[in-house]
Amino acid sequence: LVTAAGEVIRASETEHPDLFWALHGGGGNFGAVTEFEFEAHRFGPEMRIGVALHHPEDAAAALAEYAQIYPELSDRVGWHAALKQSMPGLPFVPEPLRGKRLLLMIVMYLDDAQSDDGIKLVERLIGVGKPAAKAVTVMPFGARVQKLLDPEFPNGNRYYTKEAHINALPEEALEILVSRWGEMKMSGEIEIIGLGGAMARVSPEATAFPNRHHNWWLNFALHWDKASEDVSNVAQIRAAHDALKPWLGSGIYANMLNFDEADRLVDAYGGQERYDRLARVKARYDQDNFFRSNNAAIAPIGGRSRVTN
């Protein structure tokens, strides 16, 4: 890491362990990380992926069924659901469904793409509910899967996100979510991503990242192109988020903290005690608060306060 003063620091469990802890979830608040080491796990280069599309009237029931199944699945299975405002013309989308409002379910088998067990599992999972269309295929991970939905989020549009963690997805909550989705006229999606697995087995104290115990991550990732729609669209997204409050868990994902959510900053880092620890690390390595331009900026204890410019 290169500090604001130009000092080059190597952080590890034995060298600058306070900084090493903070960098595991504390974002770009402490310096510019130019190199890191990690333990890679064998994967790919191809992956087995299944896709299912559901009409809006079937979306809540399908999501509720997935919510019952997913926590029991192995670490080899990834799950992503998205309430799409307009289904793009991807190869697996039948022509009659393109441009329609649909629930997209993606199931990923994170092991041997040719495994019989993986094929059977993916085929079973995408058959949940009443899919209007479904497909199973093999894709190159880097070339295709990582870029699959990029065209839906063009540069230059006006974006607003609102996210939360959820520990349960009862059908009542899902019906409210689907109803609010149906009222929106923006582009983009409302996504639900299954958590758990290996990340949930790391001790909460081991890193600065606090949100390891939740089952689901919910994110409103929506956009539009007219500035005149900013106020009404942002208000609609916030209202949809607030309608789900009875089921929302604690903590938020700091990487998705929005420009107008300074009041959620402490919660993003897991509470006041953890935030204060990060602020002490910040004071040691960036006392003048040079690295302060991100929405999740941490002010150093005894140093310069956060600014918005």
Tens digit of each residue's pLDDT (9 = 90 or more) over 207-227: 999 888 888 999 999 999 999
SS3 annotation, the chain: CECCCCCECCCCCCCCHHHHHHHCCCCCCCCECCCCCCCCCCCCCEEEEEEEEECHHHHHHHHHHHHHHHHHCCCCEEEEEEEECCCCCCCCCCHHHCCCCEEEEEEEECCCCCCHHHHHHHHHHCCCCCCCEEEEEEEECCCCHHHCCHHHCCCCCEEEEEEEEECCCCHHHHHHHHHHHHHCCCEEEEEEEECCHHHHHCCCCCCCCCCCCCCEEEEEEEEECCHHHHHHHHHHHHHHHHHCHHHECCCCCHHHCCCCCHHHHHHHCCCHHHHHHHHHHHHHHCCCCCCCCCCCCCCCCCCCCCCCC
Per-residue confidence (pLDDT) for residue 37, from 0 to 100: 93
Tens digit of each residue's pLDDT (9 = 90 or more) over 67-116: 999 888 888 898 999 999 887 777 788 889 988 999 999 999 888 878 88
Domains with residue ranges and CATH for the chain: 1-40+272-309 (3.30.465.10), 46-147 (3.40.462.20), 154-263 (3.40.462.20)
For the entire predicted model, the pTM comes to 0.87
Tens digit of each residue's pLDDT (9 = 90 or more) over 229-263: 999 999 999 999 999 999 998 888 888 888 888 88
